[in-house]
Structure 1
């Protein structure tokens, strides 16, 4: 069976995404380890993961996170907050990684960016569980 050009591109994209997973894990662990936030519960972080899973828009994800910051202090406040660090990572490191993959694979940025954000946040939920219950 011969793969179509689109299938070959998708395989190339998936392989490239796997190559940046270590960075995604490190970025979210650093965000959780090095920023200020309150008594953030795993369920609240999972709500952010669910939003990411149900949208194709990085802006919707950031909007939801800002909404959560407005509701209570569990995500932190100010420039050294967890919320701000996650938004910075989405806009800088994650976007740059996605752009590199999109350029190399000659495909659209947005689906790759969303996939990387989803993985990043999923790894964050795991690390938060460790920080809350594993230490």
Structure 2
């Protein structure tokens, strides 16, 4: 049977859970932990010690879990302006395959190349239609 001390313990743990920063536990995670604690609390076979241990295990994620800095997002309303560097430019050998693998974190550079290639193609189309 649940006594008043256990009810106070549940209330105390739920309040401590609410006090945890949203950066450490989001609302969905808090709701899930609350549900688990209430299920354990209402289970007649769960002892006070087991309830306390379950709370510690569920909250332990906050202490040892990974936290990440906010990732920079892609600027959708801007484009980088590239200037051709003749020293670093190269010419494809017509005898070699046209597609080559570029290794590294070059997403922004590749995105800009797509824009430049699109502009070049539109200029070529404009010249042919004139």
**TM > 0.5 between the two?**
no
The higher-RCO structure (CA 8 Å, 6+ apart) is: 1
Larger Rg: 2
Relative to total residues, which structure has the larger helix share, 1 or 2?
A: 1
The alignment's TM-score, normalised by the length of structure 2, stands at 0.28
